[in-house]
């Protein structure tokens, strides 16, 4: 079960609020089997601006893991 939590400010009292007055809500999920469908469902909830899954960008995403000796590029 997912329990959304209002993101609390670190160096201030109260929740984190964007420049536009929106509250940031954090959710933790187990394995997401269909991230694109979940992203679409969440983003279609009235009042949700963006969910932060960004599944629509998977074809354009690269992960680069590097250290002092080398770097590895992982394609998603």
Q: Where are the domains of the chain?
A: 5-75
Give the pLDDT of residue 47. 86
What pTM does this model have?
0.54
Cβ(38)–Cβ(56) under 8 Å? no
Identify the CA nearest to 58 among candidates 46, 37, 40, 76.
Answer: 76
Give the pLDDT of residue 40. 92
Q: Rounded to an integer, what distance in angstroms lies between the CA atom of residue 9 and that of residue 76?
A: 33
pLDDT in tens, 3-24: 889 999 888 788 998 888 888 8
Give the pLDDT of residue 75. 67
* pLDDT mean for each 10 residues of the chain (76 residues): 83 86 85 90 89 81 87 78
């Amino acid at each position: 079960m997912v329990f959304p939590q209002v993101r609390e400010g670190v160096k201030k009292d109260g929740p984190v609020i964007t420049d536009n007055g929106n509250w940031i809500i954090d959710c933790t999920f187990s394995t997401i089997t269909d991230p694109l469908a979940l992203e679409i469902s969440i983003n279609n909830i009235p009042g949700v601006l963006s969910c932060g899954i960004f599944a629509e960008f998977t074809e354009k995403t690269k992960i680069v893991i590097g250290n002092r000796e080398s770097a590895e590029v992982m394609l998603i």
